[in-house]
């Protein structure tokens, strides 16, 4: 099936996750012949949505319509808890006349599970990796309401950073009906024994980090100026691949005109919470 690229928001998310994972994930290679072949595969296994997609490139192909139109590979995923193996179908998406091959996994992805992804071609080449999905976190808020300069913390349990999981945390405020976000926590601590991560901000912290370059002659807007009386906290919890770290080569070598090997398939889900702001006085601005 060949479809146009419009409406594929998951592709943007895929690129975002890849940037996060470079240098922090790995895969297991299982060559079974001397055939010279190399493929890149990457994808996001969304625990909150399905279907999911794994994109595959033939690294020996030039980035031309003729070279990318066909792809002689098979992708299989095995849920290592249920031992159910699924043969994925290829869904072709066209970007700027280049064919991309996105293999579709229809089944729901579950928390704290292991998925083995196997790539095979008709010449006997075989490659595989095991993706471990994250556990579902338990989120605890230190306080439901804060003043402008009062910090709140969010405690997130079941975050196994030691194993290779990642937690991207952001806090946001609304100004002039637009939400602005920062990922620079003022409080961040992690306990390896309990797999507990704590992050925190105050409304002033968030505003200062976002508008540190200055705002209408002041260091940052006071929380009385926000167009929402809520601070929003959101996170993305990302799993890992068994085996260590990936290489750091780029996905594409412009001099040779070929793509280089990369194998990144990780599970992820998102969550969040809101904190009420209780302004203490009009247009109060402090240096955090």
Domain extents for the chain?
Answer: 2-133, 138-239+271-277
Which H/E stretch holds residue 21? helix 9-21
Tell me the per-residue pLDDT of 197-224, one tens digit each, with 9 for 90 and over.
Answer: 999 999 999 999 999 877 877 888 989 8
- To the question of domain 138-239+271-277 being in CATH 2.60.40, the answer is yes
Percent of the chain with pLDDT over 90: 63
Split at pLDDT 50, 70, 90, the class of 121 is: very high
Tell me the per-residue pLDDT of 4-52, one tens digit each, with 9 for 90 and over.
Answer: 343 344 445 555 555 545 444 444 434 333 446 789 998 999 999 999 9
Bridge partners (DSSP) of residue 253 are: 258
Task: Record the tokens describing residue 35, joined without a space.
Answer: 């055939």
pLDDT of residue 108 exceeding 50: yes
The residue that leads in pLDDT, 82 or 20, is 82
Identify whether the C-beta of residue 146 lies closer than 8 Å to the C-beta of residue 171. no
Bridge partners (DSSP) of residue 77 are: 86, 117
Q: In what order do the strands lie in the sheet with 240-241?
A: 84-87, 73-79, 114-121, 126-132, 240-241
| Predicted TM-score of the model (pTM) | 0.81
Three-state SS annotation for 55-66? EEEECCCECCHH
- Is there a shared CATH topology between the 2-133 domain and the 138-239+271-277 domain? yes
Tell me the per-residue pLDDT of 136-169, one tens digit each, with 9 for 90 and over.
Answer: 999 999 999 999 999 999 999 999 999 999 999 9
Cis status of the peptide bond prior to 29, with omega within 30 of 0: no
- Dmax over Cα atoms in the chain, in whole Å? 73
> Which one is the CATH code of 2-133: 3.40.630, 3.30.1060, 2.60.40, 1.20.1440?
2.60.40
Q: What are phi and psi of 219, to 5 degrees?
A: -60, -35
* pLDDT score at 37: 76
Q: Which of 171, 167, 233 is nearest to 196 (CA)?
A: 167
The residue that leads in pLDDT, 8 or 63, is 63
């Amino acid at each position: 099936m060949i479809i146009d690229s419009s409406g594929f928001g998951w592709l943007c998310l895929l690129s975002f996750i890849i940037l996060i994972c470079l240098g922090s994930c790995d895969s297991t290679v299982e060559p079974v012949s001397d055939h010279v072949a190399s493929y890149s595969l990457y994808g996001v296994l969304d625990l909150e949505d399905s279907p999911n997609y794994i994109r595959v490139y033939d690294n020996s192909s030039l980035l031309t319509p003729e070279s990318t139109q066909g792809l002689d590979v098979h992708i299989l995923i095995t849920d290592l808890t249920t031992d159910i193996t699924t043969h994925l179908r290829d869904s072709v998406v066209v970007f700027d006349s280049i064919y991309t091959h996105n293999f579709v996994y229809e089944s729901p992805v579950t928390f704290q599970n292991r998925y083995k992804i196997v790539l095979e071609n008709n010449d006997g080449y075989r490659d595989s990796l095991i993706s471990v999905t994250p556990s579902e976190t338990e989120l605890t808020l230190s306080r439901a309401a804060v003043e402008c300069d009062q910090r709140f913390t969010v405690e997130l349990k079941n975050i196994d950073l030691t194993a290779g999981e990642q937690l991207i945390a952001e806090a946001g405020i609304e100004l002039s009906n637009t939400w602005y976000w920062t990922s620079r926590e003022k409080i961040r601590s992690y306990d390896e024994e309990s797999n507990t991560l704590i992050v925190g901000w105050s409304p002033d912290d968030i505003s200062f980090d976002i508008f540190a370059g200055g705002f209408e002659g002041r260091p940052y807007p006071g929380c009385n100026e926000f167009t929402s009386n809520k601070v929003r906290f959101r996170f993305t919890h990302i799993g890992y691949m068994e085996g260590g770290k990936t290489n750091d080569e780029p996905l594409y070598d412009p001099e040779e005109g070929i793509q280089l090997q990369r194998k990144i398939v990780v599970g992820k889900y998102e969550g969040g919470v809101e904190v009420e702001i209780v302004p203490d006085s009009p247009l109060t601005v402090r240096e955090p």
